A = this chain, B = another copy of it.
Amino acid sequence: MITVELGKKIKQLRMKKGLSQEKFALEIGMDRTYFASVEAGKRNISICNIKKIADGLEISLSELFEGL
């Protein structure tokens, strides 16, 4: 399911940047528990929040969805 695949990809990219969930969520102005549930694949996340995450990861949306 796309929510799970996207959550895994976000987690992988965040960890590559060496950021904790808490620090990254704070940096992009997103509630930590909401962000944690996105990474866990439990959220049918909206495009505006996906864009916020991609911007925080400093990648394009196209790069974020590569391979999904």
Contact = CB atoms under 8 A, between A and B. Distances in A.
Interface in A49-68: 50-51, 60-68
Contacts of A44: 46-48
Contact of A62 (B3, B45, B51, B67): B67
A50 to B, nearest CB: 7
Interface residues of A, number: 19
A46 B51 CA distance: 12
Given A2-B47, A61-B65, 8 more contacts: A2-B48, A2-B51, A6-B47, A44-B46, A44-B48, A45-B46, A47-B47, A62-B67
A23 B49 CA distance: 29
